[in-house]
Structure 1
Amino acid sequence: MNEFAEYQLNARRTPARRSGLQRNTTLIAAGAALAAAALLVRQRAKKAEHDNPPAGHFMYVDGVRLHYIERGQGQPLVLLHGDGSMIQDFEISGLIDLAADKYRVIVFDRPGYGYSRRPRDRMWGPQAQAALLHHALQLLDVENPIVLGHSWGTMIALSLALDYPDYVKSLVLLSGYYYPTARIDVPLLSPPAIPVIGDLLRYTVSPLIGRMIWPLLKRRIFNPAPVTERFSSEFPIWMTLRPLPLRASAAETAMLIPSAFLLSRRYHELRVPAVILAGDGDTYVNTRVHSEHLHHDLPHSEYRTVPDAGHMVHHLAPRQVMAAIDRAAQAAGLPAGQGVSPGQSDQFAYYGS
């Protein structure tokens, strides 16, 4: 090979070497960034657990560890939180303390949230969770409960009443999603549930992105009302951004539309009384499309709205929620404690049955 040919060959190889070097440098930098993110996520998750230790008891049901709290005496009342939440949501709202003055209150960390586990051996749709919680309640000697669900928890409450109609006495449904409608958050928030890729995201960048968008999401779920000071200061957001709760939340986001579709075909079967409550300004789940529509589909229901409230009605109007619980008890012929305080019913719009 003459000198000119050798020069041409080296000239062709040099860009390829540079491209390979740049690619390797980029991969090393990306790997280092992911490792740093994973370390930060692990530290924040451990700190969150240290700052928020289990507040209740543990039980094992059908191979699943469940964390729950129980307070008060009397008629059983079960509270089911929404997607991406935990027991503390009801605690911070003040609803548990209010209800425990009248009822025996049982609140679960649903599977995958808080300190409850979520095995990967089954799909955790509303019916699967309802079956698990029904068994758990039986083990706790809970009979004929009133079941209150908020947001995603309303689908589990409805599944309990549909699948165990002789067990559930009445329902209180807060800010629920009941019919299949288009949601931009489904494709955006579902990827952490994807096997392998989702595992990588949940242990690295997804918790950090979640923390960045938390202020916007917080405002959206309370809008048009301001975020309550207690929620802002006390809700342990990093407990929900741990990898395992993120998987549960992403999976439930992915299941949201098909779950609502399947349940909506069974609403005509529901026979237990239900009180439906929602904020009239909810921008997260449209109240007219969902809560008002459900009221028309349920012959044994009452529908109430909280004026100028958004999705988090239990934080914005806990006493109105208590009035709805008392009404659900009365509709089922159950003792309702002290009932509705004078003037309390004037704080919401009442649409009857």
Structure 2
Amino acid sequence: MSSTNTVLTGRNGLYAAGAALAALAFNQVSSRRAEHRYPPVGRILDVDGVAVHVLERGSGDPVVLIHGSGSLIQDFMTSGLVDRLAESRRVIVFDRPGYGYSARPRGTVWTPERQAALLVAACAQIGVERPVVMGHSWGTLVALAWALDHPEKLSRLVLASGYFFPTMRPDAVPTTIAGMPIIGDLISHTIAPIQTRLTGPFGNRMVFSPARPPQRFLDYMPFGLILRPQQLRATAADSGQMPAAAARLAKRYGELKLPVTILWGEGDKLVDQSIQSARLLRELSQAVGLEIAGGGHMIHHVRPDLVTNAILAPGLPVPA
């Protein structure tokens, strides 16, 4: 009986190894195809030895847009935000480290503070001074770190659908594991891309709910780039560190002196905005805020007009 079990165990191990190798090969081929189909939309900067992908459009006073977890530059392009802002502003959009075509070198813990420092250095390299900085979702942590650590390097903050205070998150343990060295690499190169392909449509519906994903988003977002192992690993690492990062930054919110606009969507399924954006609005005396009816988490897609107006002017946009 024991010898039979040993044989079965050995066969199962071979099957598992074969499945892992097949998944690895499939994901590598899919990544190469995605990069061929979706080349960089901007240019690649060398910022202190780190490759940073940046898109620039328009002219005028600068605006920097910082995307959330699991996303990339094209999120702001497909929402129409880049085109709207570029009519009167110089718009700068970065892929955060590990996303799109920006590198995420090993040996560095890519906290919001470290990511902000990289983007501040990138802005200095391309001659951007004191921009309005808008962060969406996880990107709000980077925007806040920018304002707290480099207050002279921006003029105003716009925080959309943010996560600002630590909470218990059921996804913290699996995402932390998926973002770890070795085991995280194994997961991101084998299971994670296939699993995400299967759950992606549901995820899109949830992130937009109670609104629906716009057809422009579904047609033009480069999902193949998002599904590459390196980006999935960056997403997991960022998600795993989110509560600790928010706890660390929250202790310093009283240091903020610049104007802050806080926007969030009614019915956000990803973040309980009553204990995030609404709370931050109460705590910052200089802040103004607006809940967008039916906006969900992706308010820049659902109401790009209101988000654009909030970026352009320090007051609040008036919903139509």
Q: What band does the TM-score fall into relative to the shorter chain?
A: over 0.9
Q: Does the 8 A contact of 1:96 with 1:105 survive in 2? A: yes
Name the CA distance, whole Å, in 2 between partners of 1:282 and 1:188. 22
Name the CA distance, whole Å, in 1 between partners of 2:188 and 2:71. 16
Larger radius of gyration: 1
Which of 244, 248, 253 is residue 230 of structure 2 equivalent to? 244
Name the CA distance, whole Å, in 1 between partners of 2:210 and 2:169. 19
Name the CA distance, whole Å, in 1 between partners of 2:221 and 2:188. 20
Which of 157, 171, 174 is residue 143 of structure 2 equivalent to? 157
The equivalent residue for 2:318 is: 345
Name the CA distance, whole Å, in 2 between partners of 1:37 and 1:219. 26
Letter in 1 for 2:48: D
Letter in 2 for 1:42: Q
Q: Does the 8 A contact of 1:86 with 1:114 survive in 2? A: yes
Q: Does 1:179 align with 2:152?
A: no
Q: Does the 8 A contact of 2:59 with 2:88 survive in 1? A: yes
Q: CA deviation at 1:184?
A: 1.8
Name the CA distance, whole Å, in 1 between partners of 2:306 and 2:319. 9
Q: What SS does the aligned partner of 1:98 have?
A: helix
Which of 71, 77, 94 is residue 57 of structure 2 equivalent to? 71
The equivalent residue for 2:257 is: 271
The equivalent residue for 1:97 is: 83
Q: What SS does the aligned partner of 1:345 have?
A: coil
Q: Structure 1: which 5+ residue stretches go unaligned?
A: 1-14, 332-339, 348-353
Which of 4, 16, 37 is residue 51 of structure 1 equivalent to? 37
Name the CA distance, whole Å, in 1 between partners of 2:176 and 2:227. 14
Q: Does 1:188 align with 2:180?
A: no
Supply the RMSD in Å over aligned alpha carbons. Answer: 1.3
TM-score normalised to structure 2 length: 0.97
Letter in 2 for 1:90: F
The equivalent residue for 2:268 is: 282
The equivalent residue for 1:317 is: 303
Give the 3 Å change call, closer, same or farther, for CA 204–99 of structure 1 in structure 2: same
TM-score normalised to structure 1 length: 0.88
Q: Does 1:83 align with 2:56?
A: no
Deviation larger for 186-195 or 267-276: 186-195
Name the CA distance, whole Å, in 2 between partners of 1:283 and 1:18. 49
The equivalent residue for 2:185 is: 199
Q: Structure 2: which 5+ residue stretches go unaligned?
A: none
The equivalent residue for 2:120 is: 134
Name the CA distance, whole Å, in 2 between partners of 1:275 and 1:346. 15
The number of equivalent residue pairs is 320
Q: Does the 8 A contact of 1:82 with 1:153 survive in 2? A: yes
Identity of aligned residues (%): 42
Q: CA deviation at 1:299?
A: 1.4
The equivalent residue for 1:17 is: 3
Q: Does the 8 A contact of 1:59 with 1:67 survive in 2? A: yes
The equivalent residue for 1:229 is: 215
Q: Post-superposition, which runs of at least 4 consecutive aligned residues in structure 1 deviate over 3 A?
A: none
Name the CA distance, whole Å, in 1 between partners of 2:184 and 2:213. 31
Name the CA distance, whole Å, in 2 between partners of 1:168 and 1:56. 22
Name the CA distance, whole Å, in 2 between partners of 1:104 and 1:133. 16
Name the CA distance, whole Å, in 2 between partners of 1:233 and 1:184. 31
Q: CA deviation at 1:231?
A: 1.3
Name the CA distance, whole Å, in 2 between partners of 1:192 and 1:243. 11
Q: Does the 8 A contact of 1:275 with 1:327 survive in 2? A: no
Q: What SS does the aligned partner of 1:206 have?
A: helix
Q: CA deviation at 1:55?
A: 1.0
The equivalent residue for 1:109 is: 95
Name the CA distance, whole Å, in 2 between partners of 1:260 and 1:218. 25
The equivalent residue for 1:62 is: 48
Q: CA deviation at 1:190?
A: 3.1
Q: Does the 8 A contact of 1:73 with 1:105 survive in 2? A: yes
